[in-house]
Structure 1
């Protein structure tokens, strides 16, 4: 089970995720909605330089304009782009043409059953989908789970990897994985305590996620 820890805002956050054996760390940049733990692209780039091999840096952003997305990835030096906001699917092709080395993850907000069609709409243009929860104020980092039955239906019918996010915690991630069967999981607020990433909760989340399914430990 692949694991991404999002909202990496300091070297301490990053070390915490690395010590838990993460596959990816997310840097929240270019925010237009309410968010926490966001950084500038320059700050992210400094942390990316300190990442060990085989840990993927992910630019997580609310930005929608193609040139803004391209500029953000270049400046931050991330190799995966996670687009949280609404964007025309064909715009993802424009990003790919400009940055052929970048993996594109498109967030789909699971507010109701319409998310199934939204996921299918983006599927031909993205390398992976991320199923998240949103509110009027927030495009992610809400700490609120969504309907895992809808997420499970999206996973079952997707031809590309699907990552589950939205209100995941060490206490519920095992159940969520067993229900949804995603390619990976993504957590932000669920491993924080007193406003910062908590080592014990981060380790517990990774342990629960990797042991959720038979033979779901570290894949080769």
Structure 2
């Protein structure tokens, strides 16, 4: 089970995720809604420079303009782009043409059954989908789980990898993985303590995620 820790805002956050054996690390930039742990592309680029090999740096953003998204990836030196807000699917091909090395992950907010069709709409254009939760104020990092039954349907009917996010914690990630069967899981607020990424929670999350399917 692949594990991404999102909301990396400092070298301490980065080392915490690396020590837990993460596969990917998210950097929140270019926000238009409420969000925590926001960093600049320059700050991200400095952290990416210090990132060990074999860990994927992910630019997580609310931006929607094609040129803005391309510039964000270039300036941050990330190799994966996670688009949290709405973009026209063909625009993702424009981004891909400009940055041939880039992997694109498109967020689908699982609020009701319509998320299944939203996922299908982006399936041909994205390298993966990430199933997340949104509120009136936030389009990511809500700490709120969604209906895993819907997420499981999306995984079962989607040809590309599907990552599960939204309100995951060390305590519920095993149940979530067994229910949804995702390609990977993504956590932000669920491994925090007193507003900061916590080493014990981070290690526990990675351990629970990786062991979720071993004892079935």
The reply to whether TM is greater than 0.5 is yes
Q: TM-score, normalised by structure 2?
A: 0.99
In the other structure, the counterpart of 2:211 is 211
In the other structure, the counterpart of 2:77 is 77
Distance 1:55 1:135, change over 3 A: same
Superposed displacement of residue 215, structure 1: 8.2
CA distance in 1, matches of 2:215, 2:115: 30
Alignment of 1:41-60 (within 5 A): 41-60=41-60
What are the Cα deviations for residues 72-123 of structure 1, in whole angstroms up to 9, with x where unaligned?
0000000000000011111101100100100000000000000000000000
Superposed displacement of residue 214, structure 1: 2.3
Superposed displacement of residue 136, structure 1: 1.0
What are the Cα deviations for residues 11-61 of structure 1, in whole angstroms up to 9, with x where unaligned?
000000000000000000000000000100000000000000000000000
SS in 1 for 2:124: coil
SS in 2 for 1:104: strand
Q: What are structure 2's unaligned runs of at least 5 residues?
A: none
In the other structure, the counterpart of 2:13 is 13
Alignment RMSD (CA, Å): 0.9
4+ aligned runs moved over 3 Å, structure 1: none
In the other structure, the counterpart of 2:40 is 40
In the other structure, the counterpart of 1:180 is 180
What are the Cα deviations for residues 112-140 of structure 1, in whole angstroms up to 9, with x where unaligned?
00000000000000000000000011000
Residue-pair matches, total: 216
Superposed displacement of residue 64, structure 1: 0.1
SS in 1 for 2:112: coil
